[in-house]
Structure 1
């Protein structure tokens, strides 16, 4: 029963958090990794103090998602609460910032040509 309550609180917190849709037009840096693989770095996104950030990545035309990652400012704890492909062209990453200060997240996406 405790696990179910924790999950419900987590879902409620995520629904209240900031949601950002990342598209190929918002790319800052793209690196060809060879073999059809590409690493894409998006513009920084702010995550509020004691909050959640949901990033939805779209792979772009002719590409499939492989994985997503992130880096965050500061040396305090932060963690992903979920990271998964919602389809072959979209990845969802949910990050929690448990600190009392807003921080900057730089998101990354790995894709492959179809």
Structure 2
């Protein structure tokens, strides 16, 4: 994880917006069975020609499994990085190469530790 964290710090220097999202701010939560849960977070704005750093927290007693996102306006967006930063946090770094601000809806899959 040291390599990923250094990479994140280098990319983050002076760029973009950083947002931390926790399950208590979820837009919706779906029980997928067998301890798995999908969390849909509220939309976050990414500026024109900018970066967005999303830190998605699994919450107490849960571990991250995977994450994803969708973005408004059917034009290019570049995922710069997506990785588990720890067993309870997933990081997604996106770049919006367009001249228009857009909305990003992040998703997180978690598993109960029990």
**TM-score range, shorter-chain basis?**
0.7 to 0.9
Q: Secondary structure at the match of 1:92?
A: strand
- Aligned residue for 1:74? 73
Matched, 1:23 2:28: no
Q: CA deviation at 1:15?
A: 3.8
Residues 48-74 of structure 1 show CA distances to partners (whole Å, capped at 9, x for unaligned) of 000100000110011000011000000
- Aligned residue for 1:11? 11
Q: CA deviation at 1:24?
A: 1.4
| TM-score (normalised: structure 1) | 0.87
Higher Cα radius of gyration? 1
Matched, 1:101 2:100: yes
Q: Secondary structure at the match of 2:24?
A: helix
Q: CA deviation at 1:36?
A: 0.6
Q: Secondary structure at the match of 2:11?
A: helix
Residues 68-100 of structure 1 show CA distances to partners (whole Å, capped at 9, x for unaligned) of 100000011002100000110010000110000
Q: Secondary structure at the match of 2:27?
A: strand
| TM-score (normalised: structure 2) | 0.87
**Cα distance in 1, alignment partners of residues 11 and 62 from structure 2:** 30
- Aligned residue for 2:85? 86
- Aligned residue for 2:63? 64
Q: CA deviation at 1:25?
A: 1.6
What RMSD, in angstroms, separates the aligned Cα atoms of the two structures?
Answer: 1.5
In structure 2, the gaps of 5 or more residues are: 1-6
Q: Secondary structure at the match of 1:19?
A: strand
